[in-house]
Chain A
Amino acid sequence: GAGVSQSPSNKVTEKGKDVELRCDPISGHTALYWYRQSLGQGLEFLIYFQGNSAPDKSGLPSDRFSAERTGGSVSTLTIQRTQQEDSAVYLCASSPGGHFNQPQHFGDGTRLSIL
């Protein structure tokens, strides 16, 4: 497809389980971002990948959160030992390059619910 694709669109899991969220960026985009939106809040930055550079992980809320990007394309966000406060919409975005005035284009997100 032409846009950013995220899967699954919805995920319900029990507290303490691990979850993996997937993001397929727009083809050719070298920059990839993860954000999350909790209920009634704005988007909160989590992590940023740019090409082969070390990712900016400054937004990850705890060491239970990790992300990787394989082959410079698909990214997976992993949350270990999920807690109820992890419930949110997790949004992925991509852009053509990391250091130019190019807007980030978002997928439709994964709605994560922790029971």
Chain B
Amino acid sequence: DQQVKQNSPSLSVQEGRISILNCDYSNSMFDYFLWYKKYPAEGPTFLISISSIKDKNEDGRFTVFLNKSAKHLSLHIVPSQPGDSAVYFCAARYGGATNKLIFGTGTLLAVQP
């Protein structure tokens, strides 16, 4: 049973436009959500996060939105740049004593020049 789902395996966007990556989760015990970016042959790089007590967090071109009632998370990248082309992973953390992350399967973003 996949608790964090990224239903779009890939997304293609024109340079300068908005990229919207989506993530759905099923466990209401998750209290912290993160987005990671991954290039081939490298480890995931932390991008942005949001606590479950917030509904929006912004950092430069990146904004994460959290809709707790819908158990839905999204990452907006504006404007998109060719260097943003990578695999993006959504991750969620259980509240309580454990700090382990549950990851989605990733979305490959291609930003076309």
C-alpha spacing A58/B101, complex, angstroms = 12
User: CB-CB contacts of A19-61 with B at 8 A, as 1s and 0s?
Assistant: 0000000000001010100001111110010100000101100
8 Å CB interface, B51-79 against A: 51
Q: Is the beta-carbon distance between B4 and A108 smaller than 8 angstroms? A: no
Q: Is the beta-carbon distance between A4 and B43 smaller than 8 angstroms? A: yes
Q: Is the beta-carbon distance between B34 and A56 smaller than 8 angstroms? A: no
How many chain B residues touch A (CB < 8 A): the figure is 25
CB < 8 Å A-B pair total: 60
How many chain A residues touch B (CB < 8 A): the figure is 28
| Known A-B contacts A42-B4, A108-B41; A101 and B32 likewise in contact (beta carbons under 8 Å) | yes
Interface status of A65 (Cβ within 8 A of chain B): no
Q: Is the beta-carbon distance between B46 and A103 smaller than 8 angstroms? A: yes
**Which residue of chain B lies nearest to A104 when distances are taken between CB atoms in the complex?**
B101
Q: Is the beta-carbon distance between A107 and B43 smaller than 8 angstroms? A: yes
Q: Which of A44, A48, A108 contacts B98 (CB 8 A)?
A: A48
Interface status of A76 (Cβ within 8 A of chain B): no
C-alpha spacing A103/B48, complex, angstroms = 9
User: CB-CB contacts of A86-113 with B at 8 A, as 1s and 0s?
Assistant: 0000010101001101011111110000
B87 smallest CB distance to A (angstroms)? 10
- Contacts of B103 on A, CB cut-off 8 Å? 35, 42-44
- Contacts of A101 on B, CB cut-off 8 Å? 32, 49, 51
Please list the residues of chain A having a beta carbon within 8 angstroms of any beta carbon in chain B: 4, 31, 33, 35, 40-45, 48, 50, 56, 58-59, 91, 93, 95, 98-99, 101, 103-109
With A33-B100, A105-B46 known, 16 other A-B pairs at CB within 8 A are A31-B99, A33-B101, A35-B101, A42-B4, A42-B104, A45-B100, A45-B101, A56-B98, A56-B100, A91-B44, A93-B43, A95-B99, A103-B46, A103-B49, A106-B45, A108-B41
The 3 nearest A-B residue pairs measured at CB = A106-B43, A42-B103, A103-B46
